[in-house]
Amino acid sequence: MNRETRRIFRRLSSDASAILGFALLIFFVIVAILAPFIASPPPGRDPYIMPIVTWSSNPLPPSPEHPFGVAGKRDIFYGVVWGTRTAFRVGIIVTLISTALGLLIGSVAGYFGKLWDEILMRITDIFMAIPFLVAAMVLTTILGTGLDKVMMAMTVFSWMGPARLIRGNILQVKEEQFVLAAKALGVSDFSIIIRHVLPNTIFPVLIQASMRMGSLVITAAALSFLGVGAPQGYADWGALLNYARNWMLGGQGEALKYWYMTVFPGVAMVLFVLAWNLVGDALRDAFDPRLRL
Amino acid sequence: MEENNLLLQVQDLKVYFYNEEGQELKAVDGVGFYLRKGETIALVGESGCGKSVTSLAILRLVDSDGKIQGGKILLEGRDLLSLSEREMREVRGRDISMIFQEPSSALNPVYTIGDQIIEAIILHQKLSYRQARKTAEELLRLVGIPEARKRLDEYPHELSGGMKQRAMIAMALSCHPKVLIADEPTTSLDVTIQAQILELIEELQRQLNMGVILITHDLGVVAGMAERVVVMYAGKVVEEGSRWDIFHHPHHPYTWGLLHSIPRLDVKQEKLAIIPGVVPDPLNFPSGCRFRNRCPLEDEVCLTEPSREEIENQHYVYCHHHSQIEVLETRGFSQ
Amino acid sequence: MNNVPLLQVEDLKKYFPIKAGVFRRTVGWVKAVDGVSFEVFPEETLGIVGESGCGKSTLGMTVMRLYEPTAGSIFFQGEDISSLPASQLKGVRRNIQMIFQDPFTSLDPRMHIGSIVEEGMKVHRVASPPEVRRRALDLLEKVGLGAEYFSRYPHEFSGGQRQRIGIARALALNPRLVVADEPVSSLDVSVRSQILNLLKDLKREYQLTYIFISHDLAVVRQICDRVIVMYLGKVVEIADGDTFFSSPSHPYSVALTSAVPVPDPDYEVKRIILSGDVPSPINPPEGCRFHTRCPVAQEVCSQVEPALEEVGENQWVACHFPGSLSWERA
C-alpha cells in the first residue's frame, strides 16, 4: 500500500460519521447478499415479486409471522429485505451509466473546447431546464412501466451533473503545465485525457456519484409511489409505500393505526440515503488536497 | 548603540506553528535585531527561513496555526507583545504598516482605490470624509500616480501591477507610520517597474524619516537599499552587519555561499558556487547549528548551537568557525 | 560553432483573439508575438529576455507548436514544422523538448516520478520496457536524484528537486533542442545556482542547444551565448552575450540592464528609470513600440517602425537612434 492510500485510510478511520456511513452501507450490502436466507422466496417463483400472503386487502399489523406487518396482501419484511437489492440495482446501474455518460460528454466538451463545448453544454442546459420528475414520469409513461424503463428514464435525466462537474474540473486541469508538458512529449490527446486529466478530476465526480446514489433511490421510490415505477408486487421500497397510500391517514380517530406501512420501508430508505451521503462526505474529506499535510 | 535612536527592537522572538498531528514547527526561533530611526534594514533569506513570519509577528498577525511563544518586540521601548488586541489595532497602520508582495491580492477588488485609502485614513485620524479624500489624493500624488483624482475612483483591476503597488504604498503611508515593513515589495514586478518602486520607497523614506524593514530574497535589491542586513536561515539569524560587512566580509558560510551562488549581471562567472543540499524540513531541523549538514566547515563543535559573536563593530555572526571563512575562498563549498 | 542553423524562425506571429458578446465575436487581437525572426545554431544557448507581456513565453510555446502560429514559418533542421499536421508533429516533438517554469504544476501529481520520466520514451516506443526503466534511472541519477526516488510522488519533493525531474523528463527523448521557459525563476537562490550549473553540465554532455527564456538578465548573462530582447511582441535587439552586456545598444536594452540590481554595495550605475508601464499589446503604439517610454525618442519614432539592422559585429538593433542612450559605471 502506498503512502497516499495509507493516509486516506488513516483519515477515514478517524472520522466517526465516516465509520457510521460505511457500517450502514456494509449492513445493507449484507442484507442484499443474504436476502434469500433472511426472507426465503417461495420455490420456483421470481424472488423479486413479493409473494401474496393473505387474501384480504386490509393491512395487517406486525405479528410473529409477519414481523413488519402486511400491506397490499404482501409481507412488508420480505419487501424491505428484497427491496434492498432493488435499491442497489437501481442506484448502481443508473449512477454508473449516467456518470459514464456525463464523463464522456463533459470530457469532450472540456478538453476539446470551442464548438464541441458550445454544442454539448447547450444540450446539457436544455436537459437541465426540464423538471426531472415530470420528465421521468412522461418518459416512463411512453416507455411503459417496469424497473428497466424507470432506470432508463432516470439515466437520461441525470448525466448533466457529472458532465458539468467534469467539464469544469477539466478546464481547470487543462491549464496546468503538466498537460502542456505531456503534449510537448508528443502524447496523444486521448492518452492525455486518460492518463493525466481524468485521474486529476475524477475524484469529485466519484464523490458526487456516491451522494447521488442515495437521491436516485428516493427518485425511483417517488416514481414507484406515483405508480409509474416498478410493476405490481415488485419488491421495492417505493412500491411498498404505494400500498400505504390509501391507509396513510389511519382509521377513524386512529391516525397512527397503520404506522408500520410507512415506517419500515421509510426507515430503510432514509438509512440507505444517509449511508451514501456519509460515505460521500467522508470521501470528499479524505481526498481534499487542501487537508493534506 | 545610542538608545534614544532605537525605533524597534526584536529580542529572542519565537514563533512556532502546529500542524494537524500536533507537531511543532519552529518557524522563527530566537530571532533578534534592531532598527534605528530613519534606517533601512533588510531581512534576507530563502523561502522558509522565517523572514516573512517575523514581519507578521511584529504586527502580531501570525495566523491561527502559529503562536508567538516568546520574546519581546519593543517599539520605542513599549513591548507590543504585552498590548491588548485593541491597543495593537491602534499600532497597526498608524505606527507600523506593511506592504505586501502581491498587490493584486492585497487590494480588495470590490472597492475603489480611493475608498480603501480613505478607510485607512479615517481609521486612525479624526478627519471628515472630505478631508480624508483630499489626503488620499495627495498620497496618490506623493507615490507618483498620475491623474490622482481620477485614479481614486478606479478599481484595482483597472491599474497595472506597478500602479497597484504604488497605491498599496500610499495606503501604508496614509498615517505616517514610524516603521514600514515591505515584504518582497517588488518580487512580482518587472525589473523596470521594480526600479521605479525601489526608488519611490527610498525617496519616501528620506522625506518621512521612516524606519524601513525590507524583507527580500534578492541580494541585489538589498545591496542597493539597506544600510544594515540581517541574514536568516531556518528560523534563526546567522549573520548581521552593515551592507559592506555582509557583502564584502561575510563571516558565516551560509552568507558566503549565498553571495557566491547568485548570478551577477556585471561579471561573467564561469561556474556559480553551489550550496549543496536543500533547506532542511522545519519539522526536522538539525540540532546545534542548523546549517551544519550543508556546511563545508562542519565538525563536532557544530552539534552545539553557536552563540552570537561580535567580530567587528556591530557585525555579528553565529558560527563556530567564522575565523576559517577564508578557506572557502580557495576551495569553495566542495569538500 | 556550426553555421547551419538548427532552428530558423521567420516572421512568426501569434495573435490571440479577444471575444466578447453573446455570440463570442472576435472584437480584437492580442498581438503577443508580432513578426519575430531569428536563428538558433547548434550547441548554443540563446537567451530570450523581456518583461512580462513581451511575448517571450508565447514565442517559446509557438516554436514548440504548443500554440498554433498565426503566421510565419519555423524551420527545424531545414524542415518547415509550422504547418505540419498534428499527426506528423510527434516526430518533431522528440527533437524539441521543453522545461517548464513552475515545478509545482508541471508534474502530474498522480504519477510517480519514474513514470513521469518514462512517459515520453513509452509514447515514442524508443526502447523495450526494461531498457526504458534503465534509462529513466540513469537520467534521474544524472540530474542528481537516486534510484530510491523512482516511485515517489511529486508532492514529496522540493521545488528544486521537481525542476530536476522536469529536466530529466525533457532529456529522456534525447532532444536536439530544449526550450527552457523561466526554468529557475521560481527557485530559491541557493537552488537556482544548482540548477543552472546542472543545465550547463548537461548541455556539454549531451551537445544540447537551449532556447533559454527568462526575465532575469543576470541569469541570462551567466548561461547564454546570444541574447534576444523582446518588447511588446517584437525583437528590439539581438546580440552576442558579451557584446550585449558590455554595450547594449537599444534604449530599452540599456534601461533594462541598468535596472537590474547588482549584489554589491559599491556597484553604482546611473539607473535609467523608465516612466510609465508597458502599453497594451492589443493596441500597440504606432511606429516604434517603445517610443512612449523611450527617454531619447524623437518625432520619427512615433511614425516609422524601425527595422532590425546590424550596428556592430553580431549586434542587430531595431532603433532609429541606436546607441544614443548609455549607462556608465560610476
Task: Please give the pLDDT value at position A291.
Answer: 45
Percent of chain A with pLDDT over 90: 5
**Is the minimum CB–CB distance between A115 and chain C shorter than 8 Å?**
no
Amino acid at B47: S
Helix (H, G, I), strand (E, B) or coil at B107: coil
Q: How far apart are CA B170 and CA B159, in angstroms?
A: 14
* pLDDT exceeds cutoff 80 at A6: no
Note whether A186 contacts C93, CB cutoff 8 Å. Answer: yes
Task: Please give the pLDDT value at position B164.
Answer: 87
Query: What integer is the mean pLDDT of B250-268?
Result: 89
Question: How many other CB atoms sit within 10 Å of the CB of residue B151?
Answer: 22
Task: Please give the pLDDT value at position C2.
Answer: 56
Q: DSSP assignment of chain A, as one string?
A: --HHHHHHHHHHHT-HHHHHHHHHHHHHHHHHHTHHHHSPPPTTS-TTBPPB--S--S-B---SSSTT-EETTEEHHHHHHHHHHHHHHHHHHHHHHHHHHHHHHHHHHHHH-HHHHHHHHHHHHHHHHS-HHHHHHHHHHHH-SSHHHHHHHHHHTSSHHHHHHHHHHHHHHHTSHHHHHHHHHT--HHHIIIIIIHHHHHHHHHHHHHHHHHHHHHHHHHHHHTTSSSPTTB--HHHHHHHHGGGTT-BTTBTTTTHHHHHHHHHHHHHHHHHHHHHHHHHHHHH-GGG--
* pLDDT exceeds cutoff 90 at C281: no
* pLDDT exceeds cutoff 80 at A287: no
**Is the minimum CB–CB distance between B19 and chain A shorter than 8 Å?**
yes
Query: What integer is the mean pLDDT of B318-325?
Result: 91
Task: Please give the pLDDT value at position A2.
Answer: 61
Note whether B263 contacts C194, CB cutoff 8 Å. Answer: no
Q: How far apart are CA A173 and CA A63, in angstroms?
A: 59
How many pairs of residues across B and C have Cβ atoms under 8 Å apart?
Answer: 133
- What band does A150 get if pLDDT is binned at 50, 70 and 90? confident
**Is the minimum CB–CB distance between B190 and chain C shorter than 8 Å?**
yes
Name every chain B residue with its beta carbon within 8 A of the beta carbon of A293. 19-21
Asked which of A18-32, A69-83, C287-301 is least confident by mean pLDDT, the reply is: A69-83
Report pLDDT digits (tens) over A62-120.
Answer: 788 777 777 777 888 888 888 888 888 888 899 999 999 998 898 888 888 778 888 89
Instruction: Give the residue from C57, C104, C107, C67 showing the smallest Cα distance to C214.
Output: C57
Query: What integer is the mean pLDDT of B53-76?
Result: 88
**Interface test mutation site (partner C, options A3, A185, A196, max chain C beta carbons within 10 A):** A185
Single pTM value for the model: 0.81
Residue A185 to chain C, least CA–CA distance (Å): 5
Asked which of A139-148, A250-259, C71-80, C87-96 is least confident by mean pLDDT, the reply is: A250-259
Asked which of A249-263, C107-121, C247-261 is least confident by mean pLDDT, the reply is: A249-263
**What phi, psi does B233 have (nearest 5°)?**
-150, 130
Name every chain B residue with its beta carbon within 8 A of the beta carbon of C266. 244
- What band does B321 get if pLDDT is binned at 50, 70 and 90? very high
- What band does C304 get if pLDDT is binned at 50, 70 and 90? very high
Q: How far apart are CA A152 and CA C315, in angstroms?
A: 71
Instruction: Give the residue from B275, B264, B271 showing the smallest Cα distance to B297.
Output: B275
* Residues β-bridged to residue C179: C98, C211
How many pairs of residues across A and B have Cβ atoms under 8 Å apart?
Answer: 3
**What phi, psi does A215 have (nearest 5°)?**
-70, -30
Q: How far apart are CA B166 and CA B193, in angstroms?
A: 10
* pLDDT exceeds cutoff 50 at C329: no
- What band does C223 get if pLDDT is binned at 50, 70 and 90? very high
The 3-state DSSP composition of chain C as helix, strand, coil percent (nearest 5) reads: 30, 25, 45
Residues 6+ apart with CB under 8 A from A72: A57, A59, A233, A242, A243
Task: Please give the pLDDT value at position A252.
Answer: 64
- What band does C330 get if pLDDT is binned at 50, 70 and 90? very low
Give the burial class of A275: count Cβ atoms within 10 A of its Cβ; 0-12 exposed, 13-18 middle, 19 or more buried: buried
Amino acid at B233: Y
Helix (H, G, I), strand (E, B) or coil at C283: coil
Task: Please give the pLDDT value at position B15.
Answer: 93
**Is the minimum CB–CB distance between C66 and chain A shorter than 8 Å?**
yes
* pLDDT exceeds cutoff 60 at A143: yes
Report pLDDT digits (tens) over B156-195.
Answer: 888 888 888 888 888 888 888 899 999 988 887 888 888 8
Asked which of B101-105, B130-134, B247-251, C162-166 is least confident by mean pLDDT, the reply is: B101-105
Note whether A187 contacts C119, CB cutoff 8 Å. Answer: yes
Element (H, E) at C204: helix C189-206
* Residues β-bridged to residue C85: none
Q: Who has greater pLDDT, C286 or A201?
A: C286
Rounded to 10 deg, the angle between the A76-112 and A198-225 helix axes is: 140
**Is the minimum CB–CB distance between C213 and chain B shorter than 8 Å?**
no
Q: How far apart are CA C195 and CA C165, in angstroms?
A: 11
Note whether B274 contacts C221, CB cutoff 8 Å. Answer: no
Mean confidence (pLDDT) of chain C: 89
**Is the minimum CB–CB distance between B222 and chain C shorter than 8 Å?**
yes
Report pLDDT digits (tens) over B196-215.
Answer: 888 888 888 888 889 999 99
Chain C residue with the nearest C-alpha to that of B248: C264
Chain B residue with the nearest C-alpha to that of C225: B268
Q: Are B291 and B234 in contact (CB under 8 A)?
A: yes
* Residues β-bridged to residue B213: B41, B181
Q: Are B35 and B1 in contact (CB under 8 A)?
A: no
Task: Please give the pLDDT value at position C74.
Answer: 94
Asked which of A105-119, A263-277, C93-107, C266-280 is least confident by mean pLDDT, the reply is: C266-280
**Is the minimum CB–CB distance between B219 and chain C shorter than 8 Å?**
yes
**ipTM more than 0.85?**
no
Chain A residue with the nearest C-alpha to that of B21: A293
Name every chain C residue with its beta carbon within 8 A of the beta carbon of B276. 194
Report pLDDT digits (tens) over A203-247.
Answer: 888 888 888 888 888 888 888 877 777 777 788 888 888 787 777
**What phi, psi does A159 have (nearest 5°)?**
-90, -10
Note whether A181 contacts C64, CB cutoff 8 Å. Answer: no
Residue B293 to chain A, least CA–CA distance (Å): 25
* Residues β-bridged to residue B237: B232
Residues 6+ apart with CB under 8 A from B121: B127, B132, B135, B136, B174, B175
Note whether B257 contacts C259, CB cutoff 8 Å. Answer: no
* pLDDT exceeds cutoff 70 at A34: yes
Query: What integer is the mean pLDDT of C148-156?
Result: 85
Give whole-number Cα distances, B3 to A285, B9, B35, C110, in Å: 54, 11, 11, 57
Q: Among the ranges A46-50, B154-158, B268-272, C218-222, which has the highest mean pLDDT value? A: C218-222
- What band does A255 get if pLDDT is binned at 50, 70 and 90? low
Q: Are B282 and B27 in contact (CB under 8 A)?
A: yes
Name every chain A residue with its beta carbon within 8 A of the beta carbon of C149. none
* pLDDT exceeds cutoff 80 at B5: yes
Residue A18 to chain B, least CA–CA distance (Å): 19
Give the DSSP letter of residue B25: E
In terms of C-beta distances under 8 Å and separation of at least 24 residues, what long-range contacts does C131-139 make, across chains too? C135/C172, C136/C168, C136/C172, C139/C168, C139/C171, C139/C172
- What band does B3 get if pLDDT is binned at 50, 70 and 90? low
